[in-house]
Structure 1
Amino acid sequence: MGMAASQARFLGLTARKTNVEYEGQQINQQRTTLSNQSANYYNQLLGMEVPVPPSVEDYTKTVYSFTDGALENVVTSLIAQGEGKYLVSYTRSYTDDTAVVSAASSIITRSGEEGNYKYSVGAKELRALGQEPSEEQIKNDEYLSSLTEAQLEKLIAEEKAYKEKLDEKYNGGTASGDTAWQVYYKHDTTAGTYTPVFYKTSDLTKDTTIYSEKTGASQSFIQAYSTGSEVVTDEIKGTEAKLEQDTSGRYINITLYDEEGNATTYALTTQTTTDQDAYNDAMNQYEYDKTSYDKAIEDINNKIEIIQIEDKN
């Protein structure tokens, strides 16, 4: 009996030891897992890129310009070719005082029979732009009737030039029958002058333009065009030029060559410009990235804190 009791006691102690060892192994495994998780989170923190706010300087550039008579030229590209020579691109701006521009839309009145409609603005009848007016049209128009034969010929030539500009600007440069134009001359009683007002014939005749059966007036306003001033910008690309610099490296003179190789030198002026819209977009992106970064940092720190609490327990 003594031997059996001793053996039972030994087996009990052995089982208890095995239990303790197992629990210890479990605790060690849990701590190892927590340690690995914690290390992973710290590595995530180390691998995160801190957002950097944009610099205004990155969106600021120096713009060079020069004046050629009435033309204002702005340099857009400089490609060095060696020996002080460059391939230069620049925009050239000027004011066209005989440009065609959009004008206030108006109600048009239609009269006559289908196939032979006439259109008018108030009491002013429209006629085909650039075409010789009929005797009746001249007689019924106070402006046309005031012109001499030579003045009328000059007017028709001007109208043809206006039609080319209208077609180029508002009809894609085409001159088909669909791009016919109508015109009347508006009297400025204060200045005593007459200004042409143009309408697309297609705008007057299309199915979506509805006219009152009683009054003949259009049920909607129809787009008009007239003459006026407009800034025109052309781009000159890749022309050869020579540039001079001052001691600071800033360009001060540009020399351009004509087709015969004759050189003309112009003084360059500088202006610093900032692309404010692009900078604002970059700042908005930074604010978004910063918020996302702060949120990610907070989430990781919270997870690490939970791991530390679990490790203590």
Structure 2
Amino acid sequence: MGMAASQARWISLAARKSNVEYEGQQINQARTALANQSSELWNKLYDMDVPTAPSSNDYTKTQYTFQNGDSTQTISQIQDADYTDSDGIHYNSYVTYFAKISEYKGIRNTNSNPQVQYVVPTEEGVDPYYMVGTKKLTQLSTIDRTDTSSNSSWGTYSAALDQIAEDWPDTQIAKDWKNYKTNGDTSALENIYLWTDANSHVNFASATSNTTDSLEACRQDATAALHSYYSDYQSTNKEVSKYGIIEYDSSGRATSLQLEGSSVIYDLTTSSVTDDAAYNDAMNKYNYEKQVYEKNVQDINAKTEQIQTEDRTLELRLKALDTEQNALQTEMDAVHKIISKNIESTFKTFES
């Protein structure tokens, strides 16, 4: 190979080697970027909180009950206390429990087919009256209000209407009754009618009102529902809080209770109660979080696998470039020797 050809070949090889080295640098930078991405994914996976299934024990508590006659009272909370009453009795606890209490309440009765009639008698001296089904109604204004005996009808009706007005303050009956009680307007009693139903409840209803549930509205529209009201004692579970004296056994379990104002000592019964609704809510939340967690893990694994595939491809390319660079260097060394010999031969020619 001549001098010019050798030099041209060497320059070509040098340029190719430079390109190979540049491509290798680019690949190394790309692999570094992939390594950083892989590290970020690992850190993200490491920082993720693994969902933990709820334990039913966390939603189970000890519940105390005691018998008060035929009624079972359930204690909802026991708080430590340090209270001494006026009799010098010291109480160590403040107890909240649910008790069945009988309360006098105003109750609304709905009759979807009242069959209201307004009867005008043909006899002289007999006032018109309403009927609900087969029941003849009495106008409240006709009741003797002067009878103050303990078993008087007026006293019974007054107590019932007082309670109805308290529990149903927006009804026409309540407005008419309050008008009578506050202003002494006896004409308001003419709008209130009463009758005793099959359950021995004394029902009260308004003759007219601005709603569609009055006697007159139901008389004119057979599809209208009649609302009547009565008062009666209703048993309800009510939350009660009192100071108490609680005795405990050696394990810390409450064994007896004496409530403030009572000398009765109740034996406490212990049971374990699980809040199923709260536990199910927690389990639903866990299942959702578990699905989200598994989806995130799958996404991270998929991205990591993609990065590894790209990195393996780049690694193979880098190895090929290393092989090519070694081959180029070997050839460049060989061409360099040829050039050196040509130069040496040229100098010898000039010397001779």
TM-score, scaled relative to structure 2: 0.67
More helix, by proportion: 2
Report which stretch shifted further, 149-158 or 15-24.
149-158
Report which stretch shifted further, 15-24 or 101-110.
101-110
The aligned amino acid for 1:251 is A
Cross-structure match for 2:132 = 121
Q: Who wins on radius of gyration, i.e. which is larger? A: 2
Q: How does 1:158-197 map to 2 (within 5 A)?
A: 158-171=156-169, 176-177=175-176, 182-187=193-198, 194-197=200-203
Structure 1 residue 187, shift from structure 2 partner: 4.2
2:204 aligns with one of 182, 189, 198: 198
Cross-structure match for 2:248 = 245
Asked if the contact 2:212–2:224 (Cα under 8 Å) also holds between the matched residues in 1, the reply is no
Summarize deviations over 1:2-37 as a string: whole Å, max 9, x none: 665444333322211211111101111111111111
Asked if the contact 1:209–1:219 (Cα under 8 Å) also holds between the matched residues in 2, the reply is no
Q: How does 1:60-99 map to 2 (within 5 A)?
A: 60-69=60-69, 72-81=72-81, 85-95=92-102, 99=105
Q: 1:211 to 1:157 in 2, by over 3 A?
A: closer
Q: 1:152 to 1:205 in 2, by over 3 A?
A: farther
Q: 1:84 to 1:185 in 2, by over 3 A?
A: closer
Counterparts of 2:150 and 2:95, CA distance in 1: 46
Counterparts of 2:235 and 2:54, CA distance in 1: 34
Counterparts of 1:151 and 1:165, CA distance in 2: 20
Query: Secondary structure of the residue that 1:205 maps to in structure 2?
Result: coil
Cross-structure match for 1:234 = 238
2:111 aligns with one of 99, 105, 121: 105
Q: 1:222 to 1:197 in 2, by over 3 A?
A: same
Q: 1:250 to 1:54 in 2, by over 3 A?
A: same
Cross-structure match for 2:36 = 36
Cross-structure match for 2:338 = none
Counterparts of 1:247 and 1:264, CA distance in 2: 23
Aligned residues: 285
Asked if the contact 1:255–1:265 (Cα under 8 Å) also holds between the matched residues in 2, the reply is yes
Cross-structure match for 2:224 = 220
Query: Secondary structure of the residue that 1:62 maps to in structure 2?
Result: strand
Q: 1:72 to 1:214 in 2, by over 3 A?
A: closer
Counterparts of 2:308 and 2:255, CA distance in 1: 66
Q: 1:170 to 1:212 in 2, by over 3 A?
A: closer
Counterparts of 1:266 and 1:278, CA distance in 2: 31
Q: 1:178 to 1:165 in 2, by over 3 A?
A: closer
The aligned amino acid for 1:293 is Y
Q: 1:112 to 1:132 in 2, by over 3 A?
A: closer
TM-score, scaled relative to structure 1: 0.74
Asked if the contact 1:71–1:94 (Cα under 8 Å) also holds between the matched residues in 2, the reply is no
Asked if the contact 2:165–2:177 (Cα under 8 Å) also holds between the matched residues in 1, the reply is no
Summarize deviations over 1:83-131 as a string: whole Å, max 9, x none: 98122223322345x6544434242526389xx99543124343456x6
Structure 1 unaligned regions, length at least 5: 135-148, 189-193
Counterparts of 2:218 and 2:52, CA distance in 1: 70
Counterparts of 2:219 and 2:248, CA distance in 1: 71
The aligned amino acid for 1:166 is I
Report which stretch shifted further, 24-33 or 35-44.
35-44
RMSD: 3.8
Q: 1:92 to 1:205 in 2, by over 3 A?
A: same
More strand, by proportion: 1
Q: 1:121 to 1:233 in 2, by over 3 A?
A: same
Q: 1:118 to 1:112 in 2, by over 3 A?
A: same
